[in-house]
């Protein structure tokens, strides 16, 4: 018997967030900090929306470092990807990993 685990990784800090720009700004401006805040808010709203949709389909979510991990043993990787894409999320907003495990150890 073989079981599978679908793991969806949702980064809380978007790589496109202007943290590097803010860190190198001279002088640092309040407007720059507000722009960063707006970008982070937008990203966390998108992550929360993906979490809700995945949880509605049986995924269990947990936090690991700066990343939300959603896991399921009943939903396949392709099904999870198709769902998120159909909801309007870009493939660059999440990562999907699929692993298989034999009843007595890793495959």
pLDDT tens digit string along 36-85? 888 889 999 999 999 999 999 999 999 998 899 999 999 999 999 999 99
pLDDT (0 to 100) of residue 70: 98
- Determine if residue 6 is left, alpha or beta; phi over 0 gives left, psi from -120 to 50 gives alpha, anything else beta: beta
Range of the domain at 26: 2-106
* Sequence-ordered list of residues with C-beta below 8 angstroms from that of 63, at least 6 positions apart, any chain: 69
- Where residue 94 sits, what CATH number does that domain have? 3.30.70
The mean of the pLDDT values for the chain is 87
Q: Is the pTM of this model over 0.85?
A: no
User: What is the distance of C-alpha 18 from the center of its chain?
Assistant: 19
Residue 51: C-alpha distances to residues 1, 25, 83, 91 (Å): 29, 34, 12, 15
Number of structural domains, the chain? 1
């Amino acid at each position: 018997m073989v079981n599978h685990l679908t793991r969806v990784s949702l980064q809380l800090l978007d790589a496109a967030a202007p943290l590097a720009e803010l860190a190198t700004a001279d002088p640092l401006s309040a407007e720059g900090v507000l722009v960063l805040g707006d970008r982070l808010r937008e990203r966390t709203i998108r992550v929360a929306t993906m979490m809700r949709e995945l949880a509605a389909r049986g995924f269990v979510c947990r936090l690991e470092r700066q990343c939300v991990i959603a896991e399921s043993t009943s939903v396949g990787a392709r099904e999870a990807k198709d769902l998120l894409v159909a909801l309007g999320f870009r493939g660059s907003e999440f990562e999907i990993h699929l692993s298989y495990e034999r009843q007595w150890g890793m495959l």
